[in-house]
Amino acid sequence: MTARRVADASGPWLSAYQKTRERTETLVKPLSEADQTAQSMPDASPVKWHLAHTSWFFETFVLKPNLPGYSAFDPAFEYLFNSYYNSIGEQFPRAQRGAITRPGAPEVLAYRHHVDKHMTQLLSQSSPELLNRLDSLLPLGLAHEEQHQELLITDLQHLFSINPLYPAVTVPVQAFAPVVALGWWHHPGGLVEIGAPAPGDASDVQVDDSPSFRFDDLPSFRFDDLPSFRFDDLPSFRFDNELPRHQVRLYPFALADRLVTNGEYAAFIDAGGYNDPLHWLSEGWAWRCREQISQPLYWLRRAEQWWQYSLAGLHALDPHAPVRHISLFEAMAYAQWCGCRLATEFEWEHAAARVEPSDSVYDPTILAPQSQSQSADQLYNCLWQWTQSQYQPYPGYRPEAGAVGEYNGKFMSNQFVLRGGSCITPPNHIRASYRNFFPAATRWQFSGIRMAKDD
Ligand code: AVJ
Ligand code: FE
């Protein structure tokens, strides 16, 4: 049987699986074993752990239940690379992941390839019954892989930021074009539809056949020569937390037509914004005092100037670039200082749904927001935008059946929703209904601020 016939027989999954898995490996190819092993804080995981855990996901949820006779690469990995699935079993403590020097990077790659070999075997079978069972699991596994493609970059940036040599691994950042005055989109309010469209709905995104992706021989330690990725090979997908689609009442509001810039945020700092408790939520003030926070993560003050660390190295802070690595507490304090507020996730979604996410190319040589190539309004794939909405279930929400039901639903307490995706989110991963979520003090994600106000 030719490769082409295998791909045809197994629908879109085999090729989407292989491309998605390859992109992860390409992304980490420039990293040394040491780069992949260290852990900088309990919230962040070693790159090597991400590589193993995404393989664990396919092994645990797809291969073990569906491939008869599948034998695990190493039975001890069930515990070692389980992130948080209590119905699968206990987990190795998250904060100690950086202490796992063995398996080394080559063994973790061998684990990935073991899983890939068996996934290929499974996906080459064409039984309609099997394909039916994989219909929701496979896209979940691929969306999971893509979430970890983003997370491993955020974690790597945090790790490198601890190093006073400030490693530069991407091309230098380019200056942002000066911003124009903030404009507002006004909305009269009313009943609106929120959530992902039901399957088969005409507004569902169409599948596109992409040109194949190049797997080049890469030099070590820098991302400069990585090929761009196209992420248009995955059929449309929604996480369970985007469902069901339902009605929400909005009141008249206005949403800013761009994100808050570094320059604008620096004015808040200069005005003593971090020292005035009137701008801050009680929990935010306690956090700011306890952690001695007086500026965004990755900002440095040297010789009376602001500098910023990014994967491009340490560079002068660009006043026109959107401010990033902001906690919800800081975003809310800034908004309060401006006499504004953050949008609710429903206001954001309704305003954003008029615009399609545009980029389908991911350039791993630039792992920072860019002046060009993003939609002018910076809605998608620039920075995650904090909303004032608690991460909660939509009316009628049902987690997926079985152990994968632990994926999203169980985190619906004490977290807030972020919308829009960032410059390091695989572009095709993002849609208007997408809900990311983190606790209010989180700063190491690529999070920014969009203002909203009552009209
Ligand atoms: C949606 C980004 C909060 O970081 O745990 C990864 C993504 N879910 N594996 C997280 C996720 C399962 C999730 N966030
Ligand atoms: Fe995960």
The rounded mean pLDDT for the chain is 90
The closest-lying atom of ligand 1 relative to the alpha carbon of residue 436 is 1
| CA dist., res. 129 & res. 106, Å (int) | 36
Residue extents of the structural domains in the chain: 3-162, 184-202+237-454
| CA dist., res. 179 & res. 181, Å (int) | 7
Listed residue (416, 421, 448) closest to 432, CA to CA: 421
Question: Which residues contact ligand 1 via a Cβ below 6 A?
Answer: 144, 147-148, 151, 407, 436-438
Q: Which residue has the higher pLDDT, 12 or 420?
A: 420
DSSP string computed for 116-137: HHHHHHHHT---HHHHHHHHHH
Dmax over CA atoms of the chain, in Å, equals: 70
Residue range 241-260: mean pLDDT, rounded: 96
What pLDDT is recorded for position 428?
84
Whether the pTM exceeds 0.95: the reply is no
What pLDDT is recorded for position 212?
24
CATH code given to domain 3-162: 1.20.120
Other Cβ atoms closer than 10 A to 266: 18
- The residue whose CA is least distant from atom 7 of ligand 1 is 147
| CA dist., res. 99 & res. 37, Å (int) | 8
- Identity at 137, one-letter amino acid code: L
Residue 301 Cα to ligand 1 midpoint, Å, equals: 32
What pLDDT is recorded for position 363?
86
| CA dist., res. 196 & res. 154, Å (int) | 27
**Residues 435 and 455: beta-carbon distance below 8 Å:** no
| CA dist., res. 232 & res. 236, Å (int) | 10
Bridge partner residues of 390 (DSSP): 416
Residue 53 Cα to ligand 2 midpoint, Å, equals: 7
Residue 214 Cα to ligand 2 midpoint, Å, equals: 26
Listed residue (362, 370, 437, 423) closest to 20, CA to CA: 362
Residue to probe by mutation, ligand 1, list 55, 151, 152, 435, most atoms within 8 Å of CB: 151
Beta strands in 239-284 (DSSP E): 246-250, 253-256
**pLDDT at 259 > cutoff 70:** yes
Residue 169 Cα to ligand 1 midpoint, Å, equals: 25
pLDDT, tens digit, 9 for 90 and up, residues 305-334: 999 999 999 999 999 999 999 999 999 999
Residue 81 Cα to ligand 2 midpoint, Å, equals: 9
Fold of 184-202+237-454: paralog of FGE (formylglycine-generating enzyme) (3.90.1580)
What pLDDT is recorded for position 446?
98
| CA dist., res. 390 & res. 378, Å (int) | 23
**pLDDT at 352 > cutoff 50:** yes
The closest-lying atom of ligand 1 relative to the alpha carbon of residue 53 is 9
- Structure-token match 């507004």, residue found: 203
**Residues 197 and 244: beta-carbon distance below 8 Å:** no
**pLDDT at 2 > cutoff 80:** no
Name the pLDDT band for 377 (thresholds 50, 70, 90): confident
The DSSP code for 427 is G
Residue 147 Cα to ligand 1 midpoint, Å, equals: 7
| CA dist., res. 26 & res. 118, Å (int) | 20
**pLDDT at 400 > cutoff 70:** yes
* Residue 252, token pair as written in the block: 């008249």
pLDDT, tens digit, 9 for 90 and up, residues 174-208: 999 998 889 999 999 999 999 998 766 644 433 33
**pLDDT at 104 > cutoff 70:** yes
**Residues 120 and 60: beta-carbon distance below 8 Å:** no
Name the pLDDT band for 80 (thresholds 50, 70, 90): very high
pLDDT, tens digit, 9 for 90 and up, residues 264-275: 999 999 999 999
| CA dist., res. 16 & res. 138, Å (int) | 10
Task: Give the CA distances from residue 181 to residues 98, 261, 419, in Å, rounded to whole numbers and listed in that order.
Answer: 45, 11, 23
- The residue whose CA is least distant from atom 3 of ligand 1 is 437
Residue range 282-299: mean pLDDT, rounded: 98
- Which ligand is nearest the CA of 43, by number? 1
Q: Dihedral through CA 404, CA 407, CA 409, CA 414, nearest 10?
A: 150
Residue to probe by mutation, ligand 1, list 57, 61, 147, most atoms within 8 Å of CB: 147
Residue range 227-240: mean pLDDT, rounded: 78
